Structure 1
Amino acid sequence: MRRLPLCVVGGGSIGQRHINCAQASSTVDLTAVVDSNSDRRAELAARGLKVVASLDDVPSSTRAAIVATPTQNHAATATACLDRGLATLVEKPVTETVQEAKALCRRADDLGVPLFTGYHRRCHPFVAEARARLIVLGELVAVQGIWCLRKHDSYFDEPWRKVTGAGPILTNLSHEIDLMQYFAGPITEVTAICSHAARGLAVEDTAALSFRFANGALGNFMLSDSGASPWAFEAATGENPAIAVRGGDPMRFVGTEGAMGFPSLTIWGGADETQTDWRFPLVQMAAPNLPRVDGIAAQLERFVAAAGGAADDVLATGQDGLETMKVLDAVQRAAVSGRTEQVTL
């Protein structure tokens, strides 16, 4: 099988994970790492990587790109990749604003170049199993989630992480919104309260959110990158080597016939369909034993196939990234207005 010539744009923390996966893949030829920071280029070059300062310097054989720059640069960088005909996967969020996301998706469509968003959590086997098991819960009525992890102080040494576009709403809630919509369908309206009190930065450090889904279900979510807790996707799954494993389901789904914790996939339901009301004890159903994978590596293999023309119904498209941005935009508008805000069509 011919390897896909691919470059990674951005050699920061998430870029490093993409670089490592590309180097380990038998289906990828890592043609270059693009980074404008001279010190970082020197560090990467010392590891034997081909490093360049600009997309203009990427080898002409390159056919695909992964964009892992700061969020504020996603739109311009991804557009430049598309204009070069490179199948492009952009780290989440796909852009900083809805307007940028719409323009990026239009550009990809006009050029006929594949565009994907880096919601790699979709690629875990337990995510596919969760979608399949939701049907046993009956009609979905409620979704509850939490992501609360205290980021280390040096995380904010990077100036871009202190300014608009870098708070936990765009950086961390983005993943959660994609998963919630992947599981429960479109979110149509949002209320939000945000706080800057813990860190005192321009970006929020804590947010409390409520949602309405198109199917009638309601949801809420607690978000903080300043509070220490065991409840977050990464802490439950161990998928990010930089975050300690602590366990505990950070997301729950409640239906008319039962409930499920995620990602454990533990289900609570009636002994039969007549015993689900509060007069009867619910029965705990064991979760399946599923293989664990590196979500970013699994996403990369799917991206390689999709860049070659294969159909894929798991990867998040550019349009999926736009739909998530619309919800995040509503969250930000609601935090300012103090009112319930509709998700724009």
Structure 2
Amino acid sequence: MDTIRHAIVGCGGIGPFHSTAIAEIPNSVLAYACDIIPERADALAAKIDGCQAVYDLDALLARNDVDLVHVCTPSGMHAEQAIAVLEAGKNVITEKPMDVTTAACDKLIAVAEASSGKATCIFQNRFLNLTEKVKQAVDKGLLGKLTMGDAYIKWFRTQAYYDSGDWRATWELDGGGCLMNQGVHYVDLLQWYMGPVQSVYAICDTLAHDIAVEDVAAAVLRFKNGAIGVVEGTTAAAPGLDWRIELHGDQGSVTIKNGNIEHWRFLDKELDNNPPEDETAKLKAAGADPKDIPAQAHTRQITLMCEAIRNNGDVPIPVREARNAVEIVTAIYESNRTGQLVTLES
């Protein structure tokens, strides 16, 4: 397979970011833009030479000239649509989260693991140069015994943002508020670094918006390795702060802010305590504006998916692994609902 022919399903919101990423990947073309709102499909298709607008998912999947489908629709539709893609014999990328319940994720996992097609879920922040360096440091044991791991996502969204789509801030299609939509990226990063979460205790509330889901949340996590940590997320911290992850061990500590390494310190005097730098890293990361994200990490993850399709290799993030962040966030919601410590199943 020389050229990967892509299709984007869901041409508003994050869909155009996928289009930008695809344009940067050699031997990849955006062949179809699909949306049930014809104007959105038409608008995206008009920007890409040779791209055709389609208004129905079944019509798209009936075509034999599509290799990789990007599911960029509201979160609560991801699993059902991804399953349809796989059952049509094609490969699929879902945007984060993979879906809004673990039950929906499990259905997709079962189909994906029995399918000849490949499936992955976007968690693009894993593929920033410096977040990968941090993962290497953790896996090499440079931090020693992990003791604490924290994620802080103190962003801001206006009421107009929530009012811009009838699916936003609904349990059915958004799956929650500041954690399931925005914070899930960093919940994923945190568990990627620290390992599986054993239990959570959380408080969530809605303090600054007229919405049905949370706009503030705080959770205490116990990891299976014994470490503890916190997740703090909000879309009510004006004007919107940088996201941050802190990792601590008995031999060193690392802090990441918006994809840059801010703190990099180890007790071992033979290790370089100067933080690695990446001139391509960008400081802005959607804290105040949901469109203010770089496309480079999407490009990297989609490139790896294309390579997996061409070479019949491993996908960048298996869907079974992508389930973890959904399980953690839904456990946080359950703890808030019950007022009890919640132990995770997996």
- The normalised TM-score by structure 1 is 0.87
Give 1:155 shift.
1.6
2:267 aligned with 1:260, yes or no?
A: no
Partner residue, 1:144: 150
Matching residue's letter, 1:129: K
Contact between 2:130 and 2:277, CA under 8 Å: does it hold in 1?
A: no
Aligned length: 319
Partner residue, 1:99: 103
Give 1:3 shift.
1.0
CA distance in 1, matches of 2:314, 2:242: 28
Q: How does 1:91-240 map to 2 (within 5 A)?
A: 91-134=95-138, 135-156=141-162, 157-164=164-171, 165-166=173-174, 167-228=177-238, 231-233=241-243
Contact between 1:8 and 1:15, CA under 8 Å: does it hold in 2?
A: yes
CA distance in 1, matches of 2:240, 2:325: 25
Partner residue, 2:85: 81
Matching residue's letter, 2:137: R
Give 1:200 shift.
3.0
Give 1:65 shift.
0.8
Note the alpha carbon deviations across 1:306-338, whole angstroms, 9 max, x for none. 12234347x221101222222122111111011
Partner residue, 1:269: 266
Note the alpha carbon deviations across 1:146-188, whole angstroms, 9 max, x for none. 1011113332211111311421221122111211111111011
SS at match of 2:14: helix
2:69 aligned with 1:65, yes or no?
A: yes
Note the alpha carbon deviations across 1:114-150, whole angstroms, 9 max, x for none. 1101111111111111012232221110012210111
CA distance in 2, matches of 1:325, 1:271: 36
2:278 aligned with 1:290, yes or no?
A: yes
Matching residue's letter, 1:103: K
Give 1:50 shift.
1.3
Percent of aligned positions with the same letter in both sequences?
A: 23
CA distance in 2, matches of 1:330, 1:200: 24
CA distance in 2, matches of 1:343, 1:38: 42
CA distance in 2, matches of 1:187, 1:216: 9
CA distance in 1, matches of 2:300, 2:156: 27
Matching residue's letter, 1:100: A
Give 1:82 shift.
0.8
CA distance in 2, matches of 1:109, 1:130: 30
Matching residue's letter, 1:26: P
Q: Which moved more, 1:47-56 or 1:71-80?
A: 47-56
Matching residue's letter, 1:300: I
Contact between 1:7 and 1:65, CA under 8 Å: does it hold in 2?
A: yes
SS at match of 1:137: coil
Matching residue's letter, 1:306: A
Give 1:24 shift.
3.2
Ranges in structure 1 where 5+ consecutive residues have no aligned partner: 234-249, 274-282
Contact between 2:197 and 2:328, CA under 8 Å: does it hold in 1?
A: yes
Partner residue, 1:245: none
Partner residue, 1:243: none
Contact between 1:36 and 1:54, CA under 8 Å: does it hold in 2?
A: yes
Contact between 1:137 and 1:259, CA under 8 Å: does it hold in 2?
A: yes
Partner residue, 1:305: 307
CA distance in 2, matches of 1:65, 1:342: 35
CA distance in 1, matches of 2:85, 2:242: 33
Is the alpha carbon distance of 1:132 and 1:271 closer, same or farther for their aligned partners in structure 2, counting shifts above 3 Å? Answer: closer
Q: Tell me the C-alpha RMSD between the 2 structures.
A: 2.1
- The normalised TM-score by structure 2 is 0.86
CA distance in 2, matches of 1:107, 1:309: 21
CA distance in 2, matches of 1:24, 1:322: 28
SS at match of 1:285: coil
